[in-house]
Amino acid sequence: MKVAGYTDRLGSESYNMDLSQRRANRVKARLTEQGVDAQISAVGYGEAHQVKACSNEKGNKLISCLRPNRRVEISSSGTAPKEEKPTGGQMGPTPLYQNTKVVI
């Protein structure tokens, strides 16, 4: 499982890299606290991979517009476990009663 942290474009590159890494680390910690039993890597990408540009906004409108860029994405990959088929015979008590005759 991979946790990727991102920031908006505001702030210095080094600050955003640190912030995005802290975001990813916090989500990783929370997943672990909640019992997610998986190998989890946390990576901060800073302001890379922006999903919204907001080139015409200023001030508080810009901060609000850039909100989608301040995010964490969680991804996982793997294979489905192989379904095991029972190797034994019939299950349950049914075989005990199949050939039983009731005489009254």
The 10s digit of each residue's pLDDT in 61-89 is 999 999 999 999 999 988 888 887 766 66
Higher pLDDT, 75 or 94: 75
Contact (CB, 8 A) for 16 and 46: yes
- Closest alpha carbon to 70 in 94, 51, 42, 91: 51
pLDDT of residue 104: 59
Q: Show the domains of the chain with their CATH numbers.
A: 2-77 (3.30.1330.60)
Band (90; pLDDT cuts 50, 70, 90) = low
pLDDT one-digit tens code per residue, 24-73: 999 999 999 999 988 999 999 999 999 999 999 999 999 999 999 999 99
Residue positions counted in the chain = 104
Nearest-angstrom CA–CA distance, 37 and 31: 9
